[in-house]
Amino acid sequence: MSEKIIEININNLEEKYAFDKVAKQASGAVMYTQGKAVLIAAVAIDEKSVDEDFLPLTVQYIEKSYAAAKIPGGFIKRETKPGDFETLTSRIIDRSLRPLFPQGFHYPVTITVTVVSADENVDLQVAALHAANAALFVSDIPVSKSIAAVRVGTEGDELVINPTLTQQEKSELDLLVVGSGSDAVMIEMRTLSSKTQEGQSANEFSEEALVDVIAMALESIEKASTEFEVEFSPMAREALVLEMSEDKIDATLYTMIETKYSKEVEKAIAHMAKSERSSELKKIRASILEELKNEGEEADKGLVTKVLERYKATVVRAMILDKNIRADGRALDEVRAINIETNLLPSVHGSCLFTRGQTQALVTVTLGDKKDAQMYELITAQNSLSEKFMVHYNFPGYSVGEAKYIGAPGRRELGHGNLGKRAMEPTLPLDYDGSIRMVSEILESNGSSSMATICGGSLALRAAEIQTTALVAGIAMGLVTDGSKYAVLTDIMGLEDHDGDMDFKVAGTANGITALQMDIKLGGIEMAVLKDALLQASKGKNHILELMEEAAKEIQSSAALPSTENFSIHPSKIVDIIGKAGATIREIIEKFEVSIDLDRDVGGVKVSGGDKDKVAAAKAHIEGIASTPVKKQMEYKVGESYEGKVKRIVDFGLFVEMPDGFDALLHVSKVAKERVNNLSERYDEGDAITVVVMEQNGKKVELATPEFLA
């Protein structure tokens, strides 16, 4: 089969898709090119379905160092564990493509996207999405719809569709929308802070403005996804004949549960904690199995579990759609009770225990210097980068009542931490020159622990005396729809997330949205529903912010907070603070147990330490060194003799301290008419010496001895 190439120029992207060129034994594959970037996407399927009721989809986005003409850093010269960018990109591809699979598709599928050539001006996330989509569409997997991805940024006051990486660096908006046709299936958004004439701005987007931008993105997505389907269809392989898993719902058993156990199921649903609800449902299942056994019926534990779960989901959804009643009795737009404690950990720089319903996050902030920043590399960047604001999210099993080993963070933990960072980062001071590490320990979870991380994290920053521009709150929204009507839910709990149709996380300040993330379990979401969800989220977010503002007023400073002194000395004195070979500054650091940052150009000094008294003493000591008057260099007369002192002897000459205190070089060739091989035989440090000024050019003074001139 010969190679087929399709070129598509749409939405400011010039893309080339080469089919039947690489990975021909995969279910579907493509070599994708944009600029100098080349990606290979391949799809493989295991034609044996799993018994569980889910799609076992695995997405792997891999960046090869050779793609940027680099050799991996570190001891092992081979790519090992994926970096954060690779993991987060894999999640984005997974969340975008998962809704395309048909109902009942339970076959293991692996989608691998490998970057084999990089381009420093190509958005690799959009490229990876389009490459993976093309490989899936032309594969023998029965997927008949295509997605398209659009990133929206700003250039000045103008919106830009699919900006280059250079444009993204200056953009105040980063909005990634993935959709199929006119429907959105996945959204990620964040804003970036900037300086204005009035001060720093977090560039929050209002809900109304964001709806308009998303609508514009969806217009571009509809054009692109339609063109993809037209162009890729002739390349598609014949679909495999696969048996879709049908819901093994025994109508008789379902009716029995509905008739005899409805009250017990409703009572189990009312148990908000996942562990308690699961326990109650297990008791109901045991009763059903016992009854079936007593009646001589076949008691299939797996079937009973599935039918009971289906009935439970039906009850939850019907209560919401038909009665506007939620499992815990709240109104559709009601936020659960909130409790906030700040700086409850005495040895921590900043801490907050944020509890909302049965979701609880303990968030801590630790302040550090520039050197504490996390170093990382991107194949689209020439140099190593540093992450000054780190958000680490941990989700131990006990938070949902599970006995589970705590291991390395998974994709979910990295994704939630990244969302929290994107939400809070725009409010950090632009001139903050240190590093901040935030850690969120989820102690209890029943829905929206990532949003609790944002709420607790924003307060923990304030508790650590970081002057953020505004507090940030996060709220998770849900959706239940039967096709004809829908209900938007505020502050969803785990049950509503599991049995609902959407997980829509919104974070921002009182002025608007700073970050957003949406995943749809349906084929997509209409703009009218999206607008309702955003406006309802704004109401809930502002309610939480009011409670957070009250809590912020009660913050008591932590005794563990490091003390920092910023002051200036004359730039010429920086060398005295450093001392010979750094001896003076090392002595200050060891004596006062502080860290010192110096700015040679402007004479800036930053002294930090855990003891305020020692920091103050170090500052006084430095100011003492710098307090001697700044010497002004003399204007010497060329040809005149001056009395100096030998300050230092080196191979190439003598450094002579002149009468004004400044040093000048007497080169070895100007000491005597004949070559002097060993100056140490003639002079000792501290000896008086007569020199003649040969030339003065600014601070540079050339000397000679009278002997040389005789």
Using one digit for the tens of pLDDT, what is the confidence trace for 150-187? 999 998 889 999 999 889 988 989 999 999 998 889 99
Q: Is 344 helix (H, G, I), strand (E, B) or coil?
A: coil
Closest of 406, 398, 396 to residue 441, by C-alpha:
396
Q: How many CB atoms lie within 10 A of CB 493?
A: 26
pLDDT at 271: 62
Structure tokens given for 590? 């060891």
Task: Find tokens 């002294």 and name the residue.
Answer: 607
Alpha-carbon distance values, 329 to 31, 336, 346, 498 (Å):
53, 10, 38, 18
Cβ atoms of 133 and 28 within 8 Å: the answer is no
> How far apart, in whole angstroms, are the C-alpha atoms of residue 425 and residue 202?
9
Enter the CATH code of domain 563-625.
3.30.1370.10
Mean residue pLDDT of the chain comes to 88
Does residue 368 have a pLDDT over 80? yes
Phi/psi for 656 (5° steps) reads -105, 125
Cα separations in angstroms, 401 against 275, 277, 409, 444, 446: 6, 11, 18, 8, 11
Question: How much is the pLDDT for 344?
Answer: 95
- As given in the structure block, the two tokens for residue 679 are 């100056």
The structure tokens listed for 567 are 């002051």
Report the alpha-carbon distance of residue 315 to residue 294 in Å, rounded.
27
pLDDT score recorded for residue 523:
65
Report how far residue 707's alpha carbon sits from residue 691's, in angstroms, rounded to the nearest whole number: 9
Q: Which of 286, 272, 706, 671 is nearest to 497 (CA)?
A: 272
Looking at this protein, which amino acid is placed at residue 537?
A
How far apart are the C-alpha atoms of 321 and 620, rounded to whole Å?
Answer: 69
Which secondary structure element, helix H or strand E, spans residue 703, and what is its range? strand 700-704
Beta bridge partners of 150: 177
Cα 582 vs. chain centroid, distance in angstroms?
Answer: 37
Buried b or exposed e, range 329-353, using 16+ CB within 10 angstroms: ebeeeebbebebbbbebeebbbbbb
Selected from 2.40.50.140, 2.60.40.10, 3.50.50.60, 3.30.470.20, the CATH number assigned to the domain covering 641-709 reads 2.40.50.140
Return the pLDDT at 280. 81
pLDDT digits (tens, 9 = 90+) for 374-427: 888 888 877 778 899 999 999 999 998 888 898 888 889 999 999 999 999 999
The phi, psi pair for 613, rounded to 5°, reads -65, -40
Distance CA 213, CA 221 (A): 12
Please give the pLDDT value at position 218.
Answer: 93
SS3 readout for 175-237: EEEEEECCEEEEEEEEECCEEECCEEECCCECHHHHHHHHHHHHHHHHHHHHHHHHHHHHHCC
CB 224 within 8 A of CB 148: yes
Q: What is the reported pLDDT for 201?
A: 53
CB 137 within 8 A of CB 98: no
Q: What's the rounded Cα separation, in Å, for the pair 98 and 522?
A: 10
Instruction: Please name the amino acid found at residue 531.
Output: K
Contact 131, 123 (CB under 8 A): no
Q: 4-235 belongs to which CATH class?
A: alpha beta
What is d(CA 494, CA 357) in angstroms, rounded to the nearest whole number?
Answer: 11
pLDDT over 70 percentage in the chain: 95
CB proximity list for 534: less than 8 A, separation 6 or greater: 207, 210, 211, 506, 513
Residue 357 to residue 360: CA distance in whole angstroms = 8
Is the distance from CB of 105 to CB of 54 less than 8 angstroms? no
CA distances from 345 to 363, 463, 472 (A): 10, 11, 22
Decide if pLDDT at 460 tops 70.
yes
Band of pLDDT at residue 197, cut at 50, 70 and 90: very low
What does the chain come to in residues? Answer: 710
| Short-list 563, 589, 594, CA closest to 578 | 589
CA distance 19 to 138: 9
Query: What confidence score (pLDDT) does residue 572 get?
Result: 82
**587, 580 contact by CB (below 8 A):** no
75: helix, coil or strand? coil
By C-alpha distance, which of 68, 92, 95 is closest to 79? 68
Question: Do 129 and 178 form a contact (C-beta atoms < 8 A)?
Answer: yes
In angstroms, rounded to a whole number, what is the distance separating the alpha carbons of residues 68 and 379? 6
Residue type, 114: T
| pLDDT given at position 502 | 84
Residue of 669, 608, 597 whose CA lies nearest to 349:
608
Measured distance CA(558)–CA(563) in Å, rounded = 11
**Which bin fits 262, alpha (ψ -120 to 50), beta or left (φ > 0)?**
alpha
Domain spans, the chain: 4-235, 251-323, 338-553, 563-625, 641-709
pTM: 0.81
Q: What is the pLDDT of residues 226-252, one digit of tens each?
A: 999 999 999 999 999 988 887 667 778
Give mean pLDDT, residues 580-607: 88
Q: Environment class of residue 213 by beta-carbon count within 10 Å: exposed (0-12), middle (13-18) or buried (19+)?
A: middle
Q: How far apart are CA 403 and CA 338, in angstroms?
A: 27
Q: How many CB atoms lie within 10 A of CB 58?
A: 12
Tell me if 4-235 shares its fold with 641-709.
no
The architecture CATH gives domain 338-553: 2-Layer Sandwich (3.30)
Read off the pLDDT of residues 661-701 as tens digits, 9 standing for 90 and up.
778 888 888 888 888 888 888 888 889 999 998 888 776 78
Cα distances from 302 to residues 278, 286, 298, 501, 552, in angstroms, run 15, 12, 12, 24, 50
Q: What is the pLDDT of residue 229?
A: 96
User: What are the distances in angstroms from CA 535 to CA 208, 474, 532, 542?
Assistant: 8, 14, 5, 11
When comparing pLDDT for 620 and 290, which is higher? 620
Give residue 698's Cα distance to chain centre: 51
pLDDT at 116: 97
How is the chain split among helix, strand and coil, in percent rounded to 5?
35, 30, 35
Residue 47, both tokens = 């034609």
pLDDT above 90: residue 80: no
Give pLDDT tens digits for 259-277. Answer: 888 888 878 877 655 666 6
- Alpha-helix runs per DSSP H in 408-522: 411-424, 449-463, 494-499
